[in-house]
Every structure is written in structure tokens, then in C-alpha cells.
Chain A
Amino acid sequence: MSATTLSGAAAAEPVHSLWTVAAEAPSIEYAQLSPTLIVLGAAVVGILVEAFAPRRARYGVQVALASLGFAGAFAAVLALAMGGYATDKAAVAGVGAVAVDGPALFLQGVILLVALVAVFTFAERRLEPRAGGGPVDSFAAQPAAVPGGEGEKAAVKAGWTTTEIFPLLLFAVGGMLLFPAANDLLTLFIALEVFSLPLYLLCALARRRRLLSQEAAVKYFLLGAFSSAFLIFGIALLYGYAGTVSYAGIAEVVEGTVPSPGPALAASMSSDALLLVGGAMVVMGLLFKVGAVPFHMWTPDVYQGAPTPVTGFMAAATKVAAFGALLRLLYVVLPGLRWDWEPVLWGVAIVSMLLGAVVAITQTDVKRLLAYSSIAHAGFILAGVVATSPEGVSSVLFYLLAYSFVTLGAFSVVTLVRDAGGEATHLSKWAGLGRRSPLVAAVFAVFLLAFAGIPLTSGFAGKFAVFKAAAEGGAGALVVVGVIASAIAAFFYVRVIVLMFFSEPSPEGPTVAIPSAFTTVAIGVGVAVTLVLGVAPQYFLDLAGQAGVFVR
């Protein structure tokens, strides 16, 4: 992005003042980039708080900072959307690096709301037993200490907590905000790394079962690095093909509408192999992030090992950001290759739906069950992506809004069901939960029904929207497979409901912890969004419909 500006500066008159270079600096539309900037700024302040604030004050300051950061960024998104940047004033900002348009603002809004709710689940301090004379959260006392070692014991005893999770969350969200808005391949890659690295770290920070948590983080990191390699290699191939990393530039080359191609470009344009392989590899990097088959293997292990608040955040927000980026890539850069990637994504969608639904049947752990469910849902969303129509875009946007709150809510409920060893995630322990804690079980049942796509929940409206768009886009067979996969998936969702309400509770079953207002609000918001989007989806469908056009 900076190649042109540097050459522009070099061509300018030689200057003697140290400061005159600033006059040649590229113009940055700070207002239009403000959501991302606010969040990243809050993250930097958070680091400073960690460095300078006394240990006791950090928790309160960090929670307030993160909440205010997300709320402020969301207000900025709202202001931009109301100012028309989602529709007629949609433009490319930051010297062509960042798009400010309908899909970007919609997804940024969703990510920020999810992040705000996620802060609440991160900040929950009433579920774990008190340690060292104070309440603690579900994150490691001292992450650097060896699990089970003396250092850990001392840290637990002292009641330490890892308040760095809040700046990490802020950084991750900052990357996620940039990801679906990225308008050139390098920005895409940088955004990917900016949100991935904090997530790897957060995955390793569980207070209980730390080895499992660290194993999950290492796996996530290794496989994530592997997929990043695919992505960056694909970017290199695309640059080799088009001679530019900007989305608009590549699209022009793909369509053959470049006004005067140089000799080198003319030579590479004649060979589509670079384009096809490069495009496929970039798409693969994104499919890894959404957890689609065959790049899904990390999902169950990481979802299970990571601290549950992190799992909930990751499952919701990563999917939103990654699908946003995938949509922009496919609809802005590669629409000319539609006939090449559509069948491939068809296959990926079908395999994701079926594999996710089928393997989930035999899962015995709630978090792994939800992980496979998220794989199946990635397939459902892909069905909307391959519709290649404005309806497809808006249906995916709506689905992501619906799905992210259901997921966040479901994982929040998982944090409540506990026994002596922490969260009781084995399904056998959930037997008869409906008798013991009818409210919690009923809330979880609402989320499961939404996952299954039962009418009057957001899941139904979302699934209906993507299947409708896919069917109108000529993907009838995909819809049939999707409906069959939904039927298979309904089996294991309903099985959990049956288990909760129609089984005898075991005497040494788990207890349901009474959370503080934080988690209560998080779950309440999840239920409210699920029901509102299920009962009266039209307003939000219209909203997503207005936000369905990409700028180029």
C-alpha cells in the first residue's frame, strides 16, 4: 500500500527540514477508520494500564476500558452507518487499504456487540471459588508458571489474576474489525495475524486443566501458522499474476479491463494457473479461520481446551470476521472466476454440513459438540456465500448476526454448569439438569433450538434466508443437502434437550453456579437477540439487505 506513496515522496523536491515530509504524507480518513482506531487505541492504553496501574486497580480499569472502547467503537460504526457510509457514501479509505461500506460496517457492528458481551463473560468473577482472599476469573493466575508447579501454587495463593486478557481481547477485536474491511491482500494478512496471535495466547490461559488449554493453544498456533503460510503464498501468487495486491487492481486484471498492461503484466495475464492456484490458496486460508472441512480439525480440540469465555468469543467473532473477508474476496476480487470457485465451494459446503452434523452425533462433551455444530454451521453459511447474489450477501450477514449471539450465549451457559473440577462439560453430567435448574436448562434449550433452526428462533430465520438465497442462486441440490444435514443436526441438539429434561438427575451431578450480573447480562442478551430475530426478523433482514453491496 505504501509503494506508491514512497515513490511519490522520492520524486518530490529535496527538502532540508525534518518536518516537511509530513506535508507529503498520505491523507488518512481518520473518521471513517475510527472504529478500528478506537479499539486499537484502547488496547494500547490497556497495555499501559498493565504496566503502570497497581495490581488491585487493574481489573476494574481494564473492564471499564474495554467496555468503553467497544461501546465507543460501536457508536462510531453507528454514526458512520447513519452518515450514509454504508450505502451511497461507501468508499475506500486509508489509501485504498480499507473499505468502508455496508458489509464492512454491518459486520464491524456485529463484532463489536459480540465483543462487548464477551467482555462481560471475561470479567465474570463469581463462578470460580475465591482464591487468595479475592474473587478470581476463569483465566490462569500466572500463565508463565509451569502447570502444577510451585510458582503456580504461589500465584493462586496470592490471588493473582491475568488482567492482560482485556488488552489481548481488544487487539484481537481490532484485527477482526479490519479483517472484513481489508481492501488489499497485505492488509488482509496483517489483520489476520493481528487477531490470530492474541487468540492463540488467550486459548492457553485457562485456570483449570491448563495442560489441555496449552495443548489447544499450541495446536491452534501450529495449524494457524500453517494456514497463514497458505494464505501468504496465495497472496504472492496473485501478486505475481496481477502485479498488484489491491482488490480492485486484481479484479481489473482478472476481467481484462486494464487500460494499458505493461509487457510483464501481459505475459502473466495470459497464464491463469497463477491466478487459480493463488486464489484457491487465499480462500483456503480463510476457510481455515471459519473452520470449514477439510480445514476444521483444529476446531474441536481448540474449542474444548480454550477457556470457555474465549471459546464463545472466538466461535462467534472469528466466524463473523472470516466470513466477511471471504465474502469480500469472492465478490470483489474473484467474481470473474465465479465459475471456477463456485463448484469447489459447493463441495466444501456439502462436506462441512454433513461431516459436522454426523460427527457431532457421537460427541460426549458439550464443548466438542458445539465445535462440530459450528463446523456444520460454517457449511450452512457457505451455502449462502455461493449464492453469488446480493440476497446471498445479506442472508450471510443476517445469519452471522443470529449465529454469533446464539453461540456466545450457549458457551456462557456452559460456564455455569460446574462440579468440583470446574466446568462439567461431559454430557452425562447434564442429565436431568432441567429438573434441578429449569431456568438454565430452558435457556440452553432455546439456544439449542436456535442452532437446530426451529421456527421462532433466530436460527430458523437465518437458515431460511441462506437456503432461500442459495435456491434462488441455482444451488437447489445444496439446499437439499443442507436440509438433510439440518435434520441430522436436529437429532443431537434435541438429544441434549431430552437428556436435560427427561432423564433422572444423578445424585453427584453438577451444580449450577449463580453468576454475577456480567454473565447474566451476556446470556440475557443472547436469549433476547435469539428470540427477537426469530419472532420479528424482518427489520434485521432489511438492514442486512441494505448493507449487502460491496464497494470496490
Chain B
Amino acid sequence: MDSLIGLLVAAPLLGAAVLLCGGRRLDRTGHWLGTALAATSFVIGAVLFFDMLGREGEDRALHQHLFSWVPVQGFQADVAFQLDQLSMTFVLLITGVGSLIHLYSIGYMEHDERRRRFFGYLNLFLAAMLLLVLADNYLLLYVGWEGVGLASFLLIGFWQHKPSAATAAKKAFIVNRVGDMGLSIAIFLMFTTFGTFAFGPVLENADRAGEGTLTAIGLMLLLAACGKSAQVPLQSWLGDAMEGPTPVSALIHAATMVTAGVYLITRSGAIFDAAPTAQTVVVTVGAVTLLFGAIVGCAKDDIKKALAGSTMSQIGYMVLAAGLGPIGYAFAIMHLVTHGFFKAGLFLGAGSVMHGMNDEVDMRKYGGLRRYMPVTFVTFGLGYLAIIGFPGLSGFFSKDLIIEAAFSAGGVQGWVLGGATLLGAGLTAYYMTRVMILTFFGEPRWKNRPAPSPASPDVEPSAQESGEHAEPHPHESPRSMTIPMIVLAFGSVFAGGLFNWGEAFVHWLEPVTSFEHPHPPIPIPVITAATVTMMLLGVGVAWAQYARRPVPVVAPRGSLLTRSARRDLLQDDFNHAVFVSGGQHLTRSLVYLDHTVVDGAVNGTAAAFGGLSGRMRKLQNGFARSYAVSMFGGAAVLVAATLLMRAV
């Protein structure tokens, strides 16, 4: 069984290698190969899962040592895997959702001539992500971490002919570098403190290290998590990442990669448990992000960006839960899995809508689509109900548990966090209802559009032009796209209830993350009632605003908050003012310094030697007589010097 772990990673890695190196002859079959290998990985994962179920809780973890990567004295880095319950959860989520999204992409990317490359990148992503969650040490985790960063960069910028996509890819990459730096510093600190990278020794000995060191490691790990999981203050890239193809947004920027930060924090739980300061920062980041993302999501008219704000907000919930310690780890991962289902489903639904609407993303130009896309409507609707926490569906269970845990944090902190999570629940209901109404209800706002401009009537309109001008003919998407949506909708509906059945999920994870029952200061039914009330309030406000009066096709100016929320709460303006222009000033002054001082010194030295050389060269005048004189003079000096040495 142990040796199967390597195959989990190897299958998609092989796919990536074959698809990216294989050339054009794979254009016709490449997408099937990629999908088959993703599915293979899922099957292996499932086999390992049932094998794991056959063993007792403490014995469930598997280890596979592949080879010694950097074997030098005092520095051991191994390529070794560890498959425990936490990794298993991720493996199933990644390969399961991944396979569905591969299947979906076959239809979605049908008309793209670089489809083979797209599947190669998707397989590369799967391999890197699996490496990240299967590594048994932080160094190998870092390899996977960078690998998913690369795959994310390649896929966001997949339509590189669009300047906005190229810019978004670069932005995501650069912002992630900040987080990666945090991870590398954390790994350095671990090595100097513990002398090893392996999870086992580091986490078992965590409480023996000084609290200051652990706080530093924890904060650096948090910085890494912020970068990868788009948490404040490194959240700015996620909205722009929606420039990538929609399956990418669903797989990487909603269901799996962006949750890597939550994995990292949960995996390093022992470090955070021993560093309360770092934990406080983690919950603060989570709380701020969950509100931040929700507010941004309320104001966006671009369906994918609204969902991106929602993703940010939901990951905020998970980070908050992970920051609460043993009472929250299991809930964070549980919400992560349910979120993986419903958010992937929502994104695929959004992609299906765009597919039918000529790639239009502005929700103000949708409306009344439920009649044209029934399957999409139903699956999207189920995802919607799940995310707002409608009682009985997945999101209800996982989110409610996080809210309870937040209240249990104790003291003022508990009330603040609990209030923030409740408010977030209301906001979630509001913005998701808004998305739902704008897209599927109301009057169709895409009819009676102005005719194509007569600027170039005889030129065949390009795809982009037709997307902008021609009247769309909404239609249901092909089977390969709807099947994954249906499967994910099942997950959205039932996963939460299933996980919560007799606290199955919590007990499953307990050997890895440990677990304590939360004890909120107010009774649990009251909290549940408050959550449902907030949810209904959010739905009601959105209904009043968007369903009861016509929606203008052009967005009204809106309040100051709306306008700044549309601009992602001014995050880019802040980054630009502080980091970009600050950096530009710094580089300009360094360039000036380089030109004047450094180059001046270098060129001055060179010029000095050149001048010296030119003068000394004149001594070589070509006359044998002056050569002889110089020899004689030199001889005299040498003899004199020899005698002088004796005299001294």
C-alpha cells in the first residue's frame, strides 16, 4: 500500500510531461489522457482511503521514503511521503474535484487550439498540489508549494494574448512571492531551531523551543498562508486571477490551491498551539478577510469576481477556525471540503452561464436565465443554498460549527469573532442572493442590445467582437459540463450532513489535529437561530433591492462604500501607493546611486588605469639604447637595494 502513495503524484506528473513534451500529435487525444490520469489518481486515492478505513485511528498514517534528496552531513532532505487522515482528505478533494473539472474542461475548452497544453498545466497542478499535501517534511512541501504557484501562474495567464490575463498572472506570481518568502524564512528558522525539516520531529518537539522563536515561525507561516490563500494583506491577486479560464478558477482559485494556506496552518498546529500571539494574529487575519471578501463580493458586477470575493471570505472563515486551535482545526478542514464542493459547483455554473452568454461576465447583462439553462440553474441554486448556510445543506453544518467555535474563543475575543462570523453569514446570504437574482431571475437584460457597429461590416467579426456585440442565445451546456456540475451539487447538498453524522469527520481527523469540544458562552441553539436569522435577513435585503425593482444595465454610481468595494476596497490603490511607488522611488534612487557612485568609481578606476597605461606605454619607445639605459638603471637599483637590505 505504501508504494501507491508515490503513484498518486506520479500519474498526473506523467500526464504533464507527456502532454507538454508530446507535441501536436497529442492534440486530438491529449485531453482524454489528462482526464484519465487525473481519474487514475482519484482511484488510487480511493483505494488508499478504504485501506486506511480498515485500520485503527492511530495506525492509519502511511509513510513512503522515496530517496534522499540532499544527503549531506548535518542536512538531510528526503523525498518522502506521509499519508495521514488530513492528507487523505485533501487527496480525495483534490483528485475528486480535479477529475470532475478535467471532465468539464473538455467541453469548456473545446474551441481552444491550445487545449492540450491546458490539460498539461492542469495535470502539473494536480501533481504539485498532491506533492504539497503528501510531503512528510517542510522542504518537500515547499517544492509542491512553488509548483502550484507555477501552475497557477501558467493557468491564470493561459490566455496570454489578453494583456489583462498576462498582467493578472504576473500579479498573482509576485504577490505570492511575498508569501513564499515567509515560508522559506519559516523553514530556515525551523532548521536552525530543530535541525530538521520533517513534520514528525519538528511538531513533536515544538513546545520545547522558545515561544519567541515559535511566534516568529508561526507568523512567517501565516504570511505564507496569506499569500497562497489570498488573505489580507496579500489578497489582491485573487480577483484578478479570474482572468484565467473558468475551470481554473473553480479548481485552483476556489476549491484547492487557495486552501493550501489552511492546510499549512492546520498541519503546523503544534507550532501555533505553543505560540498564542501567532494564533491571535491568525484569527485576526481570518476575521478581517472574511468581512473584507464579503464586502467586495457585495459590490462586484462581474460574476466571477463576486464569487472570488466570496472565496476570499469563506477561506477567511477557515483561517479563523484554524487559528482557534484544537477546537477549530477539524471545522476548518470540514468547511474547506464542503466549500470545495459548492464553490467549485458555483464556478462551474458561472462558467456554464458564460459559455451560453458569449463569455459575458457582467451580471447586469444577464437576467431570467433560469428558463434557458435549467440544469445550470438547479445546480447553481443548490450551491447557492449550500453556501448561504440554508439549514440541512453542507454549508449550514460546517459554517455553523465555525461560528460556535468562534464564540467559544472566550472573553471579548470570543464575542468579537462570533459577531464577525455572524455578520459574515448575513453578508454571504446577501451577495449570493444578489448573484442568484441578477443571473437567473428578473427580466432578461441581454435582449435588444445595440446592433453591431458598422465600422467593418465586411470583415468577419472575431470571437471577441461577437462576444461584445452580437445578441447572445443562451443555451444549456453540453453533457461533459453538466455532469460535473450535477455531481458537485450532490456534494453541496449532502457532504455537510454526512460529515456531521455522529461527528464522523471530527473523529476521523482527531488523531492528526486533536480536538476539543467548543463550549460557547451562549447555548448552541441560540447561535444556530441567530445564524439562520442573519441568513434570512441577508436574503431579504437582497431580494428587496434586486428582485422588487428593475435592475439597471449600467451600474449606478453608488455610495462611497460601494465604489470603494467595487475597487476591491482600494487594495490596489494602497499597494500601488505604498509598495509600487515606494519601490519605484527606491529603485530610482538605487539606479542613481549605481550610475553616479558605483559606475563612477568603476569607470574612474578603469580610466585611471587606462591613463596610467597610456603614459607607461610611452617608455617603450623602440630604441635599444634607452632599453639598455633602463636595464642599467634597474640593475643599479637592484644592487643598491640588495646592499641596503644588508645594511638595514
Contact = CB atoms under 8 A, between A and B. Distances in A.
A297 B620 contact: yes
Interface in B621-643: 622, 624, 626-628, 630-631, 633-635, 637-639, 641-643
B645 A294 contact: no
Contact of B631 (A223, A272, A283, A339): A223
A372 B221 CA distance: 59
A542 interface: no
Given A277-B643, A301-B622, A362 B630 contact: no
A284 B639 CA distance: 9
A249 B637 CA distance: 28
Contacts of A347: 641
Given A272-B646, A362-B610, A230 B641 contact: no
A344 B645 contact: yes
B448 interface: no
Interface string A200-235: 000000000000000000110011001100100000
B621 to A, nearest CB: 9
A344 B642 contact: yes
A284 B638 contact: yes
Nearest to A362: B613
B66 interface: no
A297 B625 CA distance: 11
Interface in A240-289: 272-273, 276-277, 279-281, 283-284, 288
A186 interface: no
B296 to A, nearest CB: 52
A300 B630 CA distance: 15
Interface stretch (A42-50, A85-93, A353-361, A424-432): A353-361
Contacts, number: 87
A142 to B, nearest CB: 26
A281 to B, nearest CB: 7
Contacts of A343: 641, 645
Nearest to B632: A226
B610 A294 contact: no
A227 B627 CA distance: 12
B612 interface: yes
Nearest to A344: B641
Interface in A468-510: 488, 491
A279 B620 CA distance: 28
B609 interface: yes
B522 interface: no
Interface string A288-328: 10000111011011000000000000000000000000000
Contacts of A279: 642
B616 A358 contact: yes
Contacts of B619: 297
B620 A300 contact: yes
A24 interface: no
Contacts of A288: 631
Given A223-B631, A340-B645, A340-B646, A361 B638 contact: no
Contacts of B606: 491
A281 B631 contact: no
A540 interface: no
Contacts of A283: 638
Nearest to B623: A219
Interface in B83-100: none
A298 B625 CA distance: 11
A316 B570 CA distance: 72
B143 to A, nearest CB: 30
Given A294-B630, A361-B609, A219 B638 contact: no
B28 to A, nearest CB: 42
Contacts of A298: 627
Contacts of B630: 294, 297
Contacts of B613: 358-362
Interface in B591-607: 606
B614 interface: yes
Given A226-B628, A344-B645, A361 B620 contact: no
Given A226-B631, A230-B635, A281-B635, A219 B642 contact: no
A339 B645 CA distance: 8
29 contacts: A222-B628, A223-B624, A227-B631, A230-B635, A273-B643, A279-B642, A280-B638, A281-B639, A283-B638, A284-B635, A293-B634, A294-B637, A295-B631, A295-B634, A295-B635, A297-B620, A298-B627, A300-B620, A301-B622, A358-B612, A358-B616, A359-B617, A361-B610, A361-B613, A362-B613, A362-B614, A362-B617, A488-B609, A491-B606
Given A219-B627, A280-B639, 10 more contacts: A223-B627, A227-B631, A277-B639, A280-B635, A280-B642, A284-B638, A297-B626, A340-B642, A340-B646, A362-B613
| A-B residue pairs, 9 tightest by C-beta | A294-B634, A297-B627, A361-B613, A362-B613, A280-B642, A219-B624, A358-B613, A340-B645, A280-B639
Interface of B: 606, 609-610, 612-614, 616-617, 619-620, 622, 624, 626-628, 630-631, 633-635, 637-639, 641-643, 645-646
